A and B are shown apart, each in its own frame.
Chain A
Amino acid sequence: MYTPRKLISALALAGFCSAVFVSSAQESVRLGTPVSEADLAGFDLIAEPSGVGFPSGSGTAAQGKTIFESRCAACHGLNGEGNSAATVIVGGDMQSEDTPLRTVGSYWPYASTVFDFIRRAMPADAPKSLSDEEAYQVAAYVLYLNGLVGENEVLNAETLPQIRMPNADGFIDQSDIQ
């Protein structure tokens, strides 16, 4: 930004010196390097409810059973029953229990989150060690254990985000309260 020297002096005398320099610095520093979305394909793991961000590939629960039993069952149990309240991923009824058990099936509002979380954070002892294909398979198995998909239903970028979760209407967005 070009600021006439005389103006700067006048503003400095008026006590606005620092404001001028801050403003000009903000406009001059632009050090981000352009990058294409294609180049971020292996970096951006966000899989949104709209389907945006889901990778290619697919999987079924039948395919996911073996991986789940070897990589997930130590914490989540062979049938998703878990080894603690924090790791149970099946069962629960939001309406009938005094303190409802909140699981993937009873609580999670979006199927996309199941895939997104498995791909970015599971298994907890080796996150991001599953291939996209395996993440689809394990997500399918978790949804199958919750009775939400069939054993041989093919889940992919199109079908997985469309699965309607039982508690989809159970949330109230408070984000307008800021």
Chain B
Amino acid sequence: MKQGKLEKKRQPRLEKVAGNGLLSRRHLLGLGLGGAGLAMSQAVMGQDAGLKLEIPGWSKTPGPGPSAYGSASSHVGLERQSGFGNPLYPGGGASRSPLQHLQGTITPNSLHFERHHAGVPDIDPAGHKLVINGLVRQPLVFDYEDLLKYTMVSRIYFLECSGNSGALLYGGNPDGTAQSLHGLVSCAEWTGIPISTLLEEAGVLPEARWIAAVGADAASMGRSVPLNKAMDDSMLALFQNGEPVRPEQGYPMRLFNPGWEGNTSVKWLTQIKVTREPAQFRDETSKYTDTMPDRKSLQFTFPMDVKSLITSPSGQMSVTRNGVYRVNGIAWSGSGSIRRVEVSADGGSTWADALIDSQQLDKALTRFSIPWQWDGSPAVLQSRATDSAGNVQPTREAVIAAKGTINRYHNPCIQSWGVSPSGEVTNVYA
């Protein structure tokens, strides 16, 4: 190591861009910080730590050979977090992605969030059928093996449950984490057949306006989707990050409606009925409807709002020593791509633009970061995203003012993480 040269680099004049320690993005690039929540103390970096390095044991013994289906390192214990099961509601429930421990923008298949209404069916693809009927010239039935022969497209899209982040509207949850509060969002590369291809094969009749999509789970969960979305970018997804869609995500096939409320992307898809009007399924009337303060309820609220959150540091983490941290997180929008993410360290009084670390794909997670120098004083970290349609992520106060608190769906509000003088990070409301 050329100690002297690095020494010089380690003493940059810290360029502050907003209150309470937010630094110019160039400090991230210049310092080459990596890893989630990694603290880089200028003083420590400049000293010889006196480490005597030796060859570790694993470099002296051959390891096991190739495996049939790989798994994560035994030193990495990432898990989805499930809520409490209800014995009277078999298979219902959700599990949440460990957002605070992930980097980049793609969610590993084993960690993709889940939401089931009657459990995960064990479907033999040889016995699974996809029916298209209703207002079509010729009702059709498709076999899995035949569907694999169609031309497919691959797209990277986020998927978010419209109940995600709803807990923030209740208040409380001081122990909340990025996972427990916001873990009902994930992002994957989905490969499949445009729904328009299959609908055109059946021949949609002129009076058609909607499709009713039904899954093959025990609840036969159904959702209605406007025909123009189905003909635009909806997909029959057969592959998830390159492998067949996981059972929890709808194996052998699911509907995927990019950018829309996750529940509309019906899993285990077995029927598309082309209709004139919505079918008015239970999960688009009794559930997934948003009751406003005037007691009218919004129905068919489809695109997910522009949203972001800081995943590191975040709830239940701690910042252990004064220094420069790589504050980073994810942003997404159901209405386009992420154009801008701003970060505040003083509870929203002042803001600075974050660096966008990933591709800014349409309707996909986008990673952002910004260097932040913590000097031991209290801080409130927030992020605020703007999408390509010009939508700006609102404050919690604005969401409650506009939509009240009867409704728990579609809450895109800014997340506030409080940092105490002792370095503990908790969910706060600012």
> Given A34-B139, A36-B139, are A178 and B198 neighbors across the interface (CB < 8 Å)?
no
> Given A32-B202, A44-B131, are A107 and B286 neighbors across the interface (CB < 8 Å)?
yes
The answer to whether A144 has its CB under 8 Å from any CB of chain B is no
The answer to whether A163 has its CB under 8 Å from any CB of chain B is no
> Given A34-B140, A40-B133, A178-B303, are A86 and B89 neighbors across the interface (CB < 8 Å)?
yes
Residues of A within 8 A of B219 (CB): 120-121, 127
Among B129-152, those with CB < 8 Å from A are 131-133, 138-143, 146-147, 149-151
Determine if A83 and B88 form an interchain contact, defined as CB atoms under 8 angstroms apart: yes
CB nearest to A123 among chain B residues = B88
Determine if A109 and B151 form an interchain contact, defined as CB atoms under 8 angstroms apart: no
The answer to whether B302 has its CB under 8 Å from any CB of chain A is yes
The answer to whether B280 has its CB under 8 Å from any CB of chain A is yes
The answer to whether A102 has its CB under 8 Å from any CB of chain B is yes
Determine if B285 and A110 form an interchain contact, defined as CB atoms under 8 angstroms apart: yes
Q: What string of 1s and 0s marks CB contacts (under 8 Å) between A165-178 and chain B?
A: 00000111111011
CB nearest to B405 among chain A residues = A99
Residues of A within 8 A of B212 (CB): 46
Report the minimal beta-carbon distance from A142 to chain B, rounded to whole angstroms.
12
Partner of A32, one of B118, B141, B282, B301: B141
The answer to whether A33 has its CB under 8 Å from any CB of chain B is yes
The answer to whether B218 has its CB under 8 Å from any CB of chain A is yes
Determine if B296 and A171 form an interchain contact, defined as CB atoms under 8 angstroms apart: yes
The answer to whether A81 has its CB under 8 Å from any CB of chain B is no
> Given A44-B271, A48-B280, A120-B219, are A37 and B299 neighbors across the interface (CB < 8 Å)?
no
The answer to whether B273 has its CB under 8 Å from any CB of chain A is yes
Residues of B within 8 A of A170 (CB): 295-297
CA distance A82 to B13 in the complex (A): 65
Among the listed stretches B26-34, B222-230, B358-366, B414-422, which one makes contact with chain A, having 4 or more residues with CB under 8 Å of it? B222-230
CB nearest to B225 among chain A residues = A175
Residues of A within 8 A of B275 (CB): 48, 52
Among B198-218, those with CB < 8 Å from A are 198, 201-202, 212, 214, 218
The answer to whether A49 has its CB under 8 Å from any CB of chain B is yes
CA distance A173 to B302 in the complex (A): 11
CA distance A31 to B279 in the complex (A): 27
Determine if B141 and A33 form an interchain contact, defined as CB atoms under 8 angstroms apart: yes
CB nearest to B278 among chain A residues = A175
CB nearest to A26 among chain B residues = B151
CA distance A48 to B224 in the complex (A): 11
CA distance A113 to B289 in the complex (A): 14
Determine if A178 and B149 form an interchain contact, defined as CB atoms under 8 angstroms apart: no
CA distance A123 to B86 in the complex (A): 14
Determine if B291 and A102 form an interchain contact, defined as CB atoms under 8 angstroms apart: yes
Report the minimal beta-carbon distance from A163 to chain B, rounded to whole angstroms.
13
Interface size class of B (residues with CB under 8 A): 35 or more
Determine if A43 and B280 form an interchain contact, defined as CB atoms under 8 angstroms apart: no
Residues of A within 8 A of B291 (CB): 94, 100, 102
Residues of A within 8 A of B201 (CB): 30, 32
Determine if A32 and B132 form an interchain contact, defined as CB atoms under 8 angstroms apart: yes
Residues of B within 8 A of A43 (CB): 131, 271
Determine if B286 and A44 form an interchain contact, defined as CB atoms under 8 angstroms apart: no
Interface size class of A (residues with CB under 8 A): 35 or more
CB nearest to B284 among chain A residues = A113
Partner of A33, one of B142, B220, B279, B300: B142
Determine if B220 and A178 form an interchain contact, defined as CB atoms under 8 angstroms apart: no
Determine if A31 and B295 form an interchain contact, defined as CB atoms under 8 angstroms apart: no
Determine if A121 and B285 form an interchain contact, defined as CB atoms under 8 angstroms apart: no
The answer to whether B298 has its CB under 8 Å from any CB of chain A is yes
Determine if B141 and A102 form an interchain contact, defined as CB atoms under 8 angstroms apart: no
CA distance A22 to B291 in the complex (A): 45
CA distance A107 to B406 in the complex (A): 13
> Given A26-B151, A113-B286, A178-B226, are A45 and B297 neighbors across the interface (CB < 8 Å)?
no
Determine if A109 and B149 form an interchain contact, defined as CB atoms under 8 angstroms apart: no
CA distance A120 to B281 in the complex (A): 10
Determine if B301 and A174 form an interchain contact, defined as CB atoms under 8 angstroms apart: yes
Q: What string of 1s and 0s marks CB contacts (under 8 Å) between B294-323 and chain A?
A: 011111111100000000000000000000
CA distance A84 to B89 in the complex (A): 11
Among A99-132, those with CB < 8 Å from B are 99-100, 102, 104, 107-110, 112-113, 116-117, 120-121, 124-125, 127-128
> Given A120-B219, A174-B298, are A110 and B280 neighbors across the interface (CB < 8 Å)?
yes
CB nearest to B404 among chain A residues = A99
Among A9-57, those with CB < 8 Å from B are 22, 25-26, 29-37, 40, 43-46, 48-50, 52
Residues of B within 8 A of A125 (CB): 88, 90
The answer to whether B197 has its CB under 8 Å from any CB of chain A is yes
Determine if B303 and A45 form an interchain contact, defined as CB atoms under 8 angstroms apart: no
Determine if B140 and A33 form an interchain contact, defined as CB atoms under 8 angstroms apart: yes
- Can you sample 20 A-B contacts with CB below 8 Å? A26-B150, A31-B149, A32-B146, A45-B214, A48-B279, A50-B277, A84-B86, A102-B286, A110-B280, A113-B282, A120-B220, A124-B88, A125-B88, A127-B218, A171-B285, A172-B296, A172-B298, A172-B299, A174-B299, A175-B299
Query: A residues near B, CB below 8 A?
Result: 22, 25-26, 29-37, 40, 43-46, 48-50, 52, 74-75, 83-84, 86-87, 94-95, 99-100, 102, 104, 107-110, 112-113, 116-117, 120-121, 124-125, 127-128, 170-175, 177-178
